[in-house]
Structures are given as C-alpha cells and as structure tokens.
Amino acid sequence: MSRRNDDASVPQNGQIPSRAGVGLKPEHYRTILETAPDIGFFEVHAENYMGAGGPPHRYLTEIRNLYPLSLHGVGLSIGADRPLDRDHLNRLKGLIERYRPGLFSEHLAWSTHDTAYFDDLLPVPYTTESLSRVASHIDEVQEALGQQMLLENPSTYLTFAESTYSEIDFIAEIVKRTGCGLLLDVNNVHVASTNQQWDPLRYIDEYPLASVQEIHLAGYTPETDEKGRPLLIDTHDRPVDDIVWDLYQHTIGRLGPMPTLIEWDANVPPWPELKAEAERAEAIMSAIDRKEQARAIAG
C-alpha cells in the first residue's frame, strides 16, 4: 500500500495515529522510500540527527514527507543532579522545529555527571529531592520547546534504599506537577517487575494511564544474578517476547488503541521481520477495538 503526504491517512499536522510504528534505522531507509510500506509512524532518536546536514537528514526529510514522526531523546539527562545542557536543549529545539514531530519523549533517567557522558540510562532514586529536580527539568524542557514532553518509565534492576516513593507514585506526582505526558514502555514494566519481584499487571492497573500517549515494545535478554535468580536486561536486540505481548494486550484492553512503537536498536533485522512485529501490535489493537465496538452495540 503506497503512502503519500497528501493521503488522508497521513495527518498533515504530524499527529501520531493510534497505530503501530517502528524505530527508523539507516538499514531500512531505501526500502522504506522505494516501497512506501503501510506503517503508522516512525520514531527516531534525536541525538542521531543533531548534525547540520548530510545523508541522515536527506533521508529523514523524505520519510517525514510520507509519514508522521515521533522524536525520542536519550541525552537530556532529566534525572541528573546538575543543570540541563542548554546547548543540547537548543539543538533539540531546532530539530523539533525542522521536523515537527507528533510526539517528543525522554527517559526518567540520568546519563551525565560533571563532564562525563555515560552510554547507559541510569536510574533515579525516588525521593522528594529528586522529584523536585526532575519536575524542574521537565518544566524547563517544556518551556524551551514550547510543547509537552512525554516521560518514559525506566527499566530498573535494583531499588535505592533511600527511595521514599514507589515508582508509580513518583511518576504520577511528576505528571501532577508538570503536566507532562507519559510514554509507557511495556517491556520495561516486565523487565523491572521481574528484576524487582513486582506484579506487572498490578503495575499497569495502578499506573496513571490517563496520561499515556504512546507505548513502547521491545525485546530483552534473560540472564541470572549471582544468586541464580532471573535477571532481565533491556537490550532491544530481538523480537518482543510473548509474555510482553500478553502484557501489551492487557494494557491496550485498558487504554484502547494507542500509538505503539517497536524498538529494535541492535542486531537490527531485515525490514520484513521488523514490520511483522508492528503488524502483530496492530492486530492486537484491532481485535480489542472490535470487542469494544461489539460491546457498545450490545449495550
């Protein structure tokens, strides 16, 4: 199915439809432009496009003319105990003005300290002090960008002894203070719940779902800790696991159809395999939507 920018299926204002999308990878640029696949949207990591020009921008411009775009940041370091990097924030603003993405999201994490930049997204203690810092940073980001930011729940492996909030209560309070939206990473829920022995269904049910505007799905790597207990690593390097699909189905049952992004950042597969993951998400959304319509008619 061909897609064009003047097609009614492509929102002119860049709004993300309640469909499945995938992370845009250079390996797939040409296939996407040559075949115009029927996909809901593409998402890119902002930091990969902060250069002034070159082939990445040429390809992204062509793809943005055909599809809605979501922008996902990994470098703002929202949870860091230091001021935000204004140069980074200005580059991000320029990127948003250039491509007008339907959604912009960042992580509840930190990745900077003094002059060091870490490859990993590191966890935040859930304390009153860090709550005030994160809320202040989100306020600064939203004011600078002139739009709402979505905050993503983290994949965690431990709990800080000094935490005085649960993760859900901490995130809910951030939403209350800043008016930000939420990106619910269902894979992260499963990873964190396994690692910390939480109930993932209860996590979803108690989450501030009214603020969720996007969902992420991804693959994880199963390991064991030093005591032989299950330890899941959020690697984004394989298909979405069946148990995460089940949790996604429960989530969509609560939310209804929702923009859903397949994250696959390492060992990137051929395009048909990645697209098949998106099609599976759309099938789940369609099935639940049909059930809701039937229930409404019967009621």
- In this prediction, residue 223 carries a pLDDT of 95
Question: Given phi > 0 = left and psi -120 to 50 = alpha, else beta, which region is 61?
Answer: alpha
Collapsed DSSP state (helix, strand, coil) of residue 56: helix
Average pLDDT over residues 90-98: 96
Rounded Cα gap, residues 97 and 87, in angstroms: 15
Domain count, the chain: 1
Which CA distances in Å does 80 have to 75, 104, 134, 136, 227? Answer: 11, 19, 8, 11, 31
**6: in domain:** no
Task: Tell me which residue range forms the domain holding 43.
Answer: 20-298
- In this prediction, residue 111 carries a pLDDT of 65
Which CA distances in Å does 146 have to 139, 141, 160, 200? Answer: 10, 8, 33, 34
- In this prediction, residue 33 carries a pLDDT of 98
Confidence check: pLDDT of 299 > 80: no
**254: in domain:** yes
* pLDDT tens, position by position, 95-111: 999 999 999 999 999 66
**72: in domain:** yes
Collapsed DSSP state (helix, strand, coil) of residue 253: helix
**1: in domain:** no
Confidence check: pLDDT of 12 > 70: no
Residue 216: which CATH number?
3.20.20.150
**10: in domain:** no
What percentage of the chain reaches a pLDDT higher than 90?
Answer: 79
Contact 217, 249 (CB under 8 A): no
Q: Which residues sit opposite 151 in a β-bridge?
A: 106, 182
Confidence check: pLDDT of 13 > 70: no
- In this prediction, residue 284 carries a pLDDT of 97
**271: in domain:** yes
Name the residue with higher pLDDT: 247 or 159: 247
Contact 254, 204 (CB under 8 A): yes
Q: Which amino acid is it at 31?
A: T
**86: in domain:** yes
Contact 225, 196 (CB under 8 A): no
**E-only strand ranges, the chain:** 20-23, 42-45, 69-72, 103-107, 110-113, 116-122, 150-152, 181-185, 212-218, 221-224, 230-233, 260-263
Average pLDDT over residues 183-197: 97
Average pLDDT of the chain is: 91
